[in-house]
Amino acid sequence: MPIDFISDLPYNVGQMAKLDSLGQFEQLVLTAILSLREDAYGVTIHSKVQELARPKAVSLGAVYVTLDRVEDKGLVASWMSDPTPERGGRAKRCYRLEALGERALQESAVTAKRIWEVIAEVWGKEWAKE
Amino acid sequence: MHSGPSKTAEAIVAVFIPPACREEALGDLHERYISPGQYGLDASRTIPLVIVSRIRRTADPQVLLMQALAWYASFLGAAWLNDRAFLSEPWGLPRLAIPAAMAMLGLTLEDAYAKPGPRSPLDLARGPLLGVGLALASQGMFRIGNPTLAVPTWIMLYGCAIGLLLSCAVRMLFPPATDRLQGAKVPADWLKQSGGPPGSPEAGMRAVQGVAAVVVTLLLILLIAYQVWQTAKKG
């Protein structure tokens, strides 16, 4: 029997291969995790997302909601780090991109690049540099 | 020297954050601390979204629909048994939805604030009990503030008793998502799909149950709408 037809498994292989397109905020959060590498946790991800989304203000709560959602989709994985004194002796929840997340981000980047090329062609390279 | 929020402020904020994400959320808020005012503002902006996200993770729409149906049917049945005339009173049927909605609120919050991991059948009863508590508290407030919206005492008591039994039964058949063990790196969303892969008999049965619950709920809504329309016509 193929592995994806065994209902006792917690998830099936068919679902693993499914790739949803990312929303804009999800793209920002995944890009932040990608750029922060080993140091991706709530506060740093929020700062990076705020930097990427400027001048728009981004709340920490919105970042948490998106992190939970992308984790549920299997795009990122999380784990708890050791407690640190600057956090009042509390642990961080660190994040890293999973293979599915990297693929999803790659697809989004390719689409964004195509949009960018068309805009640059129509509005001119000078506008694109601004 | 690094300054942080006072122990009291942190303890107050910790009460509102669901235990499953308390450690990291409190740590992040601590790290961002600048002043007591900023900490309060940051916490008040962050916590509601943390709760919403936790509810989204722990709530299963199909099971919630079944629970809502069970609670409303309990109060409807209690009214049918105790005071049939109440059902034909103006706003009789919509009034029965208030304690049912409060019970649902209790259930949802209990699941969101439950510690992750397996729970005993007795622990599963905590949600329905909190729901009963909220339903009774809301009726107490209506009796003081707006008695026209209150449901008669015997209907409430019978309804709560039937609802408690039905709700506990539904929770044992369909345990909340927090009760299922989450393996390392396994996304929670996939674990929530206990019905098996699409096309399997388990998924089919779950879909049939969901559809049946939706049909019965729609019938109830139509019944309520009809009564509201009749009341408006008489008025």
Quick check: A87 and B47 CB within 8 A? no
Q: Is residue B1 part of a domain?
A: no
Pair (B17, B65) in one structural domain:
no
Which chain A residue lies closest to B190 (C-alpha atoms)? A11
Pair (B43, B83) in one structural domain:
no
CA distance B223 to B221: 5
Cα torsion angle, B42, B117, A88, A93, sign: negative
Tell me if residue B134 falls in helix, strand or coil. Answer: helix
Pair (B35, B96) in one structural domain:
no
| Cβ neighbours for B91, distance < 8 A, ≥ 6 positions apart | B148, B149, B227, B228, B231
Pair (B181, B221) in one structural domain:
yes
Q: Is residue B194 part of a domain?
A: yes
Q: Give the model confidence (pLDDT) of A14-52 as tens digits.
A: 444 456 788 899 999 999 999 998 899 999 999 999 999
User: Out of A15, A59, A87, whose CB is closest to B31?
Assistant: A87
The pLDDT value recorded for residue A121 is 85
Q: What is the 3-state secondary structure (H, E, C) of A53-105?
A: HCCCCCCHHHHHHHHHHHHHCCCEEEEECCCEHHHCCECCEEEEECHHHHHHH
Q: Is residue B217 part of a domain?
A: yes
Q: Give the model confidence (pLDDT) of A47-100 as tens digits.
A: 999 999 988 999 999 999 999 999 988 999 999 998 888 888 899 999 999 999
Pair (B82, B131) in one structural domain:
yes
Domain count, chain B: 2
Quick check: B57 and A72 CB within 8 A? yes
Q: Give the model confidence (pLDDT) of B35-80 as tens digits.
A: 999 999 999 999 999 999 999 988 888 888 889 988 998 898 888 8
Pair (B181, B149) in one structural domain:
yes
Confidence of residue B114 (pLDDT cuts 50, 70, 90): confident
Tokens (6 digits) for A97: 């991109």
Q: Is residue B117 part of a domain?
A: yes
Pair (B105, B47) in one structural domain:
no
Pair (B119, B230) in one structural domain:
yes
The pLDDT value recorded for residue A8 is 47
Pair (B132, B188) in one structural domain:
yes
The pLDDT value recorded for residue B220 is 73
Pair (B49, B63) in one structural domain:
no
How far off is chain B from A64, nearest CA to CA, in Å? 7
Quick check: B188 and A71 CB within 8 A? yes
Residues of B in contact with A7 (CB under 8 A): 196-197, 200, 202
Which residue range is the domain that position B40 belongs to?
7-53
φ, ψ at A77 (rounded to 5°) = -120, 150
